[in-house]
Chains A and B, each alone.
Chain A
Amino acid sequence: MSAPEVFQLSLGPLTGIAFSPDRSQVCVCPNSNEAQIYTRNGDSWDLTDTLAEHDKLITAIAWGPNTNRIVTCSQDRNAYVWTHTEQGWKPALVILKINRAATSVKWSPSENKFAVGSGSRAIAICHFDEENNWWTAKQIKKPLRSTVLSLDWHPNNYLLAAGTADGRTYVYSGYIKGLEAKPEATIWGDRLPTGQLLAEFKSPNGGWVHDVAFSPSGDALAFVAHDSSLTIIYASGPNEPPAAHIVVKLPSLPFTNLTWTSESSIVAAGHDCQPILFTGSPSGWAISHSLDDPSSTSKPLTPTATGIRSGGGGVGRLGNNEAFNMFKAADSKGQRGLPGTGAATTSSGLTPVGSDGMLLTVHQNTITHVEAYEWNQNGEVSKIFTAGRDGRLVVWPVTGGKGGLSGRMAGLQV
């Protein structure tokens, strides 16, 4: 198993991230109103373009792999579609008609339209209107009661799942008349006019739904919510109750993102700062293991750009006193026992902290984005990438969830 690749792209959070189709470029927003495009140069990334058009924080970025168009959406209630030309990236304004910030954006699988979720309790499905030469939107409002926090398209290019801040996940039809052929009946619904609500699910304890994702086949829907739960729904037929509704209540902090790596495995990441692999089937789902092993002491992964705090310096003559440091650690970091004996964690899910104050996980802060990076021949995801509030971009190999894990299970710290 190879070690994860770690890149420190910014000192502050990365609020939006999207890779180019060949993974040689990445578009990120370093917590500002500009998007930056970095090009891979060996082991590091060079800044090659800056996309500056938004007035406020960019909340999400999506890069269409086939058409090579980038769409960015921001708190200034706008979205721009960027097309690459010889003179650089050219923006085109999208008329969203929302009166609150846009929170998330996703290209549809065929990239002829994209969906934008917003705080104005609406989803705008945008497509290019050839006649007027502009991007225009159709809004879905009913029955959204609160901010749309996340979106995902079904592989058939018609259905759209949305997670909202009132603890619900909705499945809508995102069919645009005039743009595409009429959709066929699917397992989620048979009548699919634009904006038709096909299904609605609640999070188990009312937590905001942070992320939703359809499985690669589209027959299952998974979402993570702020009440530390992961829910997986298997559809059975139009207007029928689902074939399976599995809720995994977690002993750890809530997840903020998830992605399917195969039809039976999901990687989720969030406030515990490490990606966790889950495996399962319609009969049940369970935690498999964490892709980050905080108990491993060898850490050649910490990039030098982080400015590691020099540990050890203390206050006057008490600085090197072991007893003083022990109580100081107990007071400021909640560490029991002597520092250096390993910050052992209990099973209560607290992220382990090392003696120098850095977290023992690769990410030093919440992971805000998880997505597939590379696929193997079977179509399963072999590598994922994560970006977090610590400004780090990490590419992880996805180790299988089957067999040969007894050693890792012993050191499992979730």
Chain B
Amino acid sequence: MSEYAFRKINIDALDEDVLLPSDLYDPDPRGPDGVLSDAQRKAGEVRNLVSRGDIPGALNTILSEPPYGDGVDEAKDLTKNSLLLILNSTRASEIPTILKSLGQEQQDHLMAYIYKGMAAIGQGSDVSGSVLLNWHAQLTEVAGVGCIVRVMADRRTL
């Protein structure tokens, strides 16, 4: 049996020049603490804006400089929940105009969060599948399949 032991060696751990996933993007310049405090501040702002009915403002706030990468899970959760709150609080008739007012990068971030929301449906959080599918269809109309491709290709996972 010892002659097969070599098959269990993790060869990538021994390779000095191995390319790690973290090499493929630059980490968030704010650092984990800065990211968390930003996310908490934005979550509070979003709650205010949504209660006042200012959906475009809320989306603008939450989709600018979202937390990404490793080590910022709490911030990511906060951001995701704030965004789902916004999505659920928007009237369906207003969605197209709101989407057109977003910048291109914000549209890409929104698509990423829509997919993240869809992944969370099974885990018992209060997301409605039809709301997400509606947003997804409208966003694809506005931003195109290129938006979806960018979400899939980007290593800076939101």
Q: Digit string of A247-264 for contact with B (CB within 8 Å is 1, else 0)?
A: 001111110000000000
A252-B144 contact, Cβ under 8 Å, with A145-B23, A166-B19, A228-B149: yes
CA–CA, A350 and B149, complex, Å: 12
CA–CA, A350 and B24, complex, Å: 29
Q: Digit string of B99-117 for contact with A (CB within 8 Å is 1, else 0)?
A: 0000010001000000000
Q: Is A348 an interface residue (CB 8 A)?
A: yes
Closest A residue to B147 by CB, please name it.
A251
Taking the closest CB of chain A, its distance from the CB of B18, in whole angstroms, is 9
Taking the closest CB of chain A, its distance from the CB of B67, in whole angstroms, is 17
CA–CA, A347 and B153, complex, Å: 21
Taking the closest CB of chain A, its distance from the CB of B61, in whole angstroms, is 22
Closest B residue to A121 by CB, please name it.
B17
CA–CA, A97 and B10, complex, Å: 26
Most buried by B among A205, A225, A254: A205
Q: Would you list which residues of chain A between 214 and 260 have a CB under 8 Å from chain B?
A: 225-229, 249-254
- Chain A residues closer than 8 Å to B143, beta-carbon distance: 251, 348
CA–CA, A145 and B23, complex, Å: 9
- Chain B residues closer than 8 Å to A253, beta-carbon distance: 145-146, 149
Q: Would you list which residues of chain B between 15 and 32 have a CB under 8 Å from chain A?
A: 17, 19, 23-25
- Chain B residues closer than 8 Å to A350, beta-carbon distance: 145
A249-B24 contact, Cβ under 8 Å, with A166-B19, A346-B141: no
Q: Is A284 an interface residue (CB 8 A)?
A: no
Q: Digit string of B140-158 for contact with A (CB within 8 Å is 1, else 0)?
A: 1101111101100111100
Q: Digit string of A350-361 for contact with B (CB within 8 Å is 1, else 0)?
A: 100000000000
Q: Is A334 an interface residue (CB 8 A)?
A: no
Q: Pick the contact of A249: B17, B19, B25, B150 (CB < 8 A).
A: B150
Q: Is A349 an interface residue (CB 8 A)?
A: yes
Interface residues of A, dominant DSSP: loop
Q: Pick the contact of B141: A206, A250, A348 (CB < 8 A).
A: A348
Q: Would you list which residues of chain A between 300 and 356 have a CB under 8 Å from chain B?
A: 346-350
CA–CA, A249 and B148, complex, Å: 12
CA–CA, A308 and B50, complex, Å: 56
- Chain B residues closer than 8 Å to A145, beta-carbon distance: 17, 19, 23
Chain A: interface residue count, which band? 20 to 34
Q: Is A167 an interface residue (CB 8 A)?
A: yes
Closest B residue to A206 by CB, please name it.
B155
- Chain A residues closer than 8 Å to B25, beta-carbon distance: 206
Question: Is A166's CB under 8 angstroms from B150's CB?
Answer: no
- Chain B residues closer than 8 Å to A121, beta-carbon distance: 17
Q: Is A146 an interface residue (CB 8 A)?
A: yes
Question: Is A227's CB under 8 angstroms from B141's CB?
Answer: no
CA–CA, A207 and B24, complex, Å: 10
Taking the closest CB of chain A, its distance from the CB of B136, in whole angstroms, is 11
Question: Is A166's CB under 8 angstroms from B145's CB?
Answer: no
A251-B153 contact, Cβ under 8 Å, with A166-B19, A205-B108: no
Question: Is B24's CB under 8 angstroms from A166's CB?
Answer: yes
CA–CA, A250 and B149, complex, Å: 10
Question: Is B147's CB under 8 angstroms from A205's CB?
Answer: no
Question: Is A249's CB under 8 angstroms from B146's CB?
Answer: yes
A252-B104 contact, Cβ under 8 Å, with A206-B25, A226-B153, A348-B140: no
16 further interface pairs, Cβ-Cβ under 8 Å (given A227-B149, A348-B143, A349-B145) = A166-B24, A205-B150, A205-B154, A206-B24, A206-B155, A207-B150, A225-B153, A226-B153, A228-B153, A249-B108, A251-B143, A251-B144, A254-B146, A347-B144, A348-B140, A348-B141
Instruction: Report 7 cross-chain contacts, Cβ distance below 8 Å, ordered by A residue.
Output: A167-B24, A167-B155, A249-B108, A250-B146, A251-B143, A251-B145, A350-B145
Closest A-B pairs by Cβ, 8 of them = A251-B144, A228-B146, A227-B153, A207-B153, A349-B144, A205-B154, A251-B146, A206-B155
Q: Tell me the B residues contacting A by CB distance below 8 Å.
A: 17, 19, 23-25, 104, 108, 140-141, 143-147, 149-150, 153-156
Q: Tell me the A residues contacting B by CB distance below 8 Å.
A: 121, 145-146, 166-167, 205-207, 225-229, 249-254, 346-350, 414
